[in-house]
Amino acid sequence: MKRRSIITLSSSIIRCQKLDSMFVSVRQISSGGKRSKKKIYHRDYQLDKVMDLQKKPSLILQLKCIIQSQNHQRLLLRDLEKEKYPSIFGVGGGCGKELPFVTLTGKAEKIAREQGEARNLMEPILVKNLRKLLMLSIDCRVPLEKVELIGNELGLPHDFKKSLIFKYPEYFSTKVINGRAYLNLENWDSLLAVTAREERFARERMLQSAGGQNKVRITKDGNYLGPFAFKMCYAAGFRPNKSYLEELEKWQKMEFPSPYLNARRFEVADPKTRKRVVAVLHELLSLTMEKRMISAKLDAFHSEYRLPSKLVLCLTKHHGIFYITNKGARSTVFLKEAYDGTNLVDKCSILMFNDKFVALSGRNETSSGNVMKYT
């Protein structure tokens, strides 16, 4: 790889503009029929902290990828512009005409070899999630450039067109329409048209039945065990009053069409359609490895999934389900139920591998995994 293609750690994070007016005020209905009050968008400091905790692990994982991409598995020291970790990276050369270089230590190389196994375990999950991503779209197709845009979030390998798309012609194909390349779904699978929210409900209902609990009611935190309900995880500073909970209970019980049904069939102004949009956003985030996505990337899929024109307003309105943080280089949308404090609850094999590798630096884990494209 030519030197100009080497990504130095000082420029590792691509800077994007943050969405303007992200933390808009949200209205909370007051009790007693009084005038509604404006409430500030409540921060979730644990999820804000996730973005801070990922910085150093992300640099470590990126440097690992850079070194592994070199012909001799090493990087010239002059190209390293940040602090290194001696338990992971070693310095060699510097004698005679040989320039100093950075390479992985023996222990780091041993763990790095486990990445192939993690990738193999991940492949069927990636294929399934990619199929679901296409099934959610209006025409069961998505511009190839947009799939590449969220490749890191999905956990796709850099050569996914060859290693996944061409490998599974029974599921995927690429077609050029009006000069634009699209990834197309070849076969619809009704068994995949089940959302993560529906799967959670099935598990919780089974646990409730096993415990002999038959009465279902909405709790003070807004949660309700029903087939059309969402898990609510409000910030610690938010205190919903009785009137708010009454309105929320109506919303939680309201039926809505499946996100896997074609959005063209529904009127945009219908409350059930608006609730369906929340389910689409929930499912999109559920398909990502870290259950989060950069706001601008999510908004890029407006036409494919009929997302609301005022996406940020929709996300902040449903702040028990989603959280937007402006920490880090870019604003990011979290699926709140996927996190316990700063920790991602369920991690795939690639994220567990990342945790194990970064642990060599003395950190117990990479917070939420720090997605890196694998080779």
For residue 270, the tally of other CB atoms under 10 A from its CB is 12
pLDDT > 90 fraction of the chain, expressed in percent and rounded: 54
Burial label, 190 (beta-carbon count in 10 A; 0-12, 13-18, 19+): exposed
Q: What kind and span of H or E run contains 103?
A: strand 101-104
Provide the 3-class DSSP secondary structure of residue 111: helix
Q: What domains are there in the chain, each with its CATH number? A: 75-104 (no CATH), 115-190 (1.10.10), 193-343 (no CATH)
- Amino acid (1-letter code) at residue 222: G
* pLDDT at residue 23 is higher than 70: no
d(CA 344, CA 233): 14
Which pLDDT score, from 0 to 100, does residue 218 have?
A: 66
Least confident of 14-18, 207-211, 222-226, 323-327: 14-18
Which phi and psi (to 5°) does residue 8 adopt? -80, 155
Which pLDDT score, from 0 to 100, does residue 39 have?
A: 55
d(CA 333, CA 368): 14
- The tokens for 330 are 């870019």
* pLDDT at residue 301 is higher than 70: yes
Mean pLDDT of 125-141: 97
Q: How far is CA 147 from the centre of its chain?
A: 13
User: How many CA within 13 A on the CB side of residue 335?
Assistant: 26
For the stretch 205-216, pLDDT in tens is: 888 777 655 555
Which pLDDT score, from 0 to 100, does residue 73 have?
A: 75
Mean pLDDT of 23-49: 56
User: What are the CA-CA distances from residue 46 to residues 59, 313, 336, 354 (Å)?
Assistant: 21, 22, 10, 21
d(CA 343, CA 66): 27
With beta carbons less than 8 A apart as the criterion, state whether 195 and 283 touch: yes
Burial label, 185 (beta-carbon count in 10 A; 0-12, 13-18, 19+): buried
The pTM assigned to this predicted structure is 0.79
DSSP 8-state class, residue 173: E
DSSP 8-state class, residue 191: G
The 8 Å CB, 24+ separation contacts for 254-262 are 254/228, 255/228, 256/228, 258/193, 258/195, 259/136, 259/195, 259/283, 260/135, 260/136, 260/193, 260/195, 262/138
* pLDDT at residue 362 is higher than 80: no
Mean pLDDT of 137-144: 97
d(CA 312, CA 353): 33
Which pLDDT score, from 0 to 100, does residue 247 have?
A: 94
With beta carbons less than 8 A apart as the criterion, state whether 41 and 322 touch: no
- The tokens for 207 are 């646990």
* pLDDT at residue 198 is higher than 80: yes
For the stretch 71-94, pLDDT in tens is: 777 766 655 544 467 788 877 776
For the stretch 312-349, pLDDT in tens is: 999 999 999 999 998 877 899 999 999 999 999 999 99
Q: What kind and span of H or E run contains 52?
A: helix 45-53
